[in-house]
Amino acid sequence: MLTETQSLLLRTISVPILISIGLYTFIYPKLSKQQILLIFVVCFIGILISSFYCLPFALIPVTFTFMYLYHIRKDTPIVLLMLPASYLILVLCDNTTSLIFFKVFHVGYDIINYSLPYILMFDFACYTSYCIFTYLLSIPLHKFLYRQNISLPKGIFWILLANLILCCIIVLTNILAGNNIGYNSTNVLFNCMNAVIFFLVSIIIIFQCLKINQRYYKAQEELKQYESLKEYTSNLEQLYNNLRSFKHDYVNIMTSISSYLDEKMYDELFVFFHTNLVPLKNELIQNTETLNYLMHIKPLEIKSLLSYKMMYAIEKNISVTIDIPNDITKICMNAIDLTRLLGIYLDNAIEAALESPIPKVNLHLADMGEYIALLISNSYMDKGLSLAEMTTLHVTTKGKGNGHGIGLHNANLIFMKYPSVFHETYIENDLFFQHMQIPNI
C-alpha cells in the first residue's frame, strides 16, 4: 500500500498529463512539443504545491496557461476554450472510471487510491477513455473551428468561456466537498452525474453556437462570391473598354495616315510613324502577349483577375513578364480563397514595384502534374522590414491607419485552411518572391 504522500503525488501528476493531452488533441494547428512540455511543467508544479500546501495557488498555473495560450495563438483565441473543456472531460472520465470500479469490480475508494496495481489499472482506463473521448470530440471541433477558418463573435466567445469556467468551478467545488465528507459509491455517482450534465449542457450550447455561426459564415461566403462576381464583371468591362479604346485609337490612326497620304506629306508621315506608332506597336505587342499567355488559364474567375491586374500593371509602365507554359484546367483550392490570395499578392507586388527604380512584376504558373506551381515576383525598395514582420497584423511600410498591414496576415490565415499547400516567401536577386505549390488532389 502507498502512503498518503505517494498517493497524492500520483494523483497530482495525472491532472497535468491529461490536460496536456487534451490541449494537444484539441488545438489545431498542433502545439509544439516544447509548448506542451512548458504547460505540463507549470501545471504540475502549481497543482503539486496547491495539493500539499496552498489550494488557491492552483490559480497561478491556470492563469499562466490562459495567458500563454493567448500569447502563442492570438489569431485564434478560440483555443482558450480548450483548457476548461479539457478539465471537464478529465473530471467526467475520472468519475466514470471510478463508478465502474465501484459498481462493477466492487473496488473501494481506498484500494483505488493506495494500491499501486489498482492505481495503474485505474489510470490506464482513465487515460484510455480520455484519449478516445478527446479525439472523437476534436474531429467536429477541427471541422467547424479551424479547417473552415470560422471565428466566433467576441460576445459568443466570452459567454462560452465564462460558461465553461463556471462549470469547472462548480465541479471543483463539488470535488472538494467530497474530499471533506469522504467518498463512497453514492458520492461518486452524484459527481459523475453532475459532470455529465454540466458537460453535456456546455457541449450543446457550444455546438448550437457553432451551427448558428456556420450559417453566418456561409452567408458571408455567399456575399464574398457575389463580390467576386462583381469584380469579375468589372474586370470584363475594363477589358471591353480597353478594346473599345483600342478600336477608337485605331480609327484615329488610320484617319491620320490617310490624311498624310492624301496630302502626299511623306516626310511628315515618316516622323508621325516613328514618333507615335512605333511606341504604340511595342505596347500592343506586350499587351497581346500578356493576353495570349493568360488564355492557358481555364477557370474564368482566375483568368479575369490576372488579366485585370496584369493590364493594370502594364498601364502603370511596369515591366510585366508572364510564363504559363501549359493549360491550367483546375486548381484544387476554393475559388474565393484563391482569388483573395492572388489579389493580395498582386496588389502588393504592383505597389512595391512602383516604388522601385526599375518596376518589374513576374508571374509564373504551371501544372507540374502533382501540383500547380505559382510564383509571383516583383522589384521592391528595401524599407528595413524582415519577412516575419511583413506578415504581422498591422505592421506596414505605408503609414499608420487606413487599414494597412492586414493583407499578408490575412493570406496566412487562408493558408491555415490548407495544410497541404506549400508556401514560402523569400528575397532573391533583388526580387521579392511569393511561391505556392497547390496539390492536384
Burial of residue 57, with CB atoms counted within 10 A of its CB: 0-12 exposed, 13-18 middle, 19 or more buried? middle
E strand or H helix at 61: helix 59-72
Q: Encode pLDDT of 238-269 as tens digits.
A: 666 766 766 776 677 778 778 878 888 878 77
Q: Hunting for cell 516567401 — which residue is that?
A: 425
pTM summary value: 0.51
CA dist., res. 79 & res. 77, Å (int) = 5
CA dist., res. 227 & res. 94, Å (int) = 51
CA dist., res. 18 & res. 327, Å (int) = 52
Q: What's the confidence (pLDDT) of residue 366? A: 93
Q: By the 8 A CB rule, do 88 and 184 touch?
A: no
Q: What's the confidence (pLDDT) of residue 401? A: 44
Comparing C-alpha atoms, which of 182, 187, 85 is closest to residue 137?
85
Q: What's the confidence (pLDDT) of residue 353? A: 93
Q: Hunting for cell 459567454 — which residue is that?
A: 159
435: left (phi over 0), alpha (psi -120 to 50) or beta: beta
Tell me which DSSP letter residue 328 carries. Answer: B
Which residues does the chain have with pLDDT short of 50?
148-149, 393-395, 397, 399-404
